[in-house]
Amino acid sequence: MTKGSSSLRARVSPRELVTERVTVLSVSPLEEDHFRLQDILSGAHRDLHPGLVFTMTAKSSLSAAKIALKQGRVSIVICEHALSPGSWKDLLDFASGAPSAPLLIVTSRIADERMWAEVLNLGGHDVLAKPLRSEEVIRTVTSAWNRWQHCSQPADLSARRAGGSAA
């Protein structure tokens, strides 16, 4: 390594060097849900998490969401509570079979303690109340991504299979 390259590295902050892509699948029959999420995730609040870039794919049905999950690596699914036909539970069951299963966040106007408990008990990550608030969406999606990233690490998975803990 030359002296010039090390001085360049010292002038650039680590945060500027690292950009991580968070892939989000939005599933809702309501087009306005997709627009709102895209607006929130597209950078309006980039100052909250400048090292993350959110990429969103929108699907309006359970069947379209299943196809999208088969086709690509998705880390987070944000799903409307009621899908017709089906529900978030059907999507959770389907997604949990993937090798790097995405974490599911449920959205609903009737988000209450009962729904939150049901989502968590069945393996979902969280519930977001509608109308969606920017800071809450970013906090919840970032939390889900951090958990997904930690759980999908190969060393962590090997350690769990061996009955030990990852270092």
Residue 50 lies inside a defined structural domain of this protein: yes
Residue 6 lies inside a defined structural domain of this protein: no
The total number of structural domains in the chain stands at 1
Domain that holds residue 127: 18-162
Compute the distance between CA of residue 72 and CA of residue 130 in angstroms, rounded to an integer. 27
Residue 167 lies inside a defined structural domain of this protein: no
Q: Distances in Å between the alpha carbon of 4 and those of 1, 7, 11, 14, 142?
A: 8, 5, 11, 17, 36
The whole model's pTM is what? 0.78
What CATH number is given to the structural domain containing 156? 3.40.50.2300
Residue 10 lies inside a defined structural domain of this protein: no
Per-block mean pLDDT, blocks of 10 residues, the chain (167 long): 40 53 93 94 67 89 94 92 91 88 95 94 96 92 89 51 39
Residue 7 lies inside a defined structural domain of this protein: no
Residue 2 lies inside a defined structural domain of this protein: no
Residue 72 lies inside a defined structural domain of this protein: yes
Nearest residue to 132 (alpha-carbon basis) of 144, 119, 124, 141: 141
**What would the two tokens of residue 83 be?**
């899908």
In this prediction, residue 46 carries a pLDDT of 61
Here the contacts of 11-18 (C-beta below 8 Å, separation 24 or greater) are 15/50, 15/51, 18/51
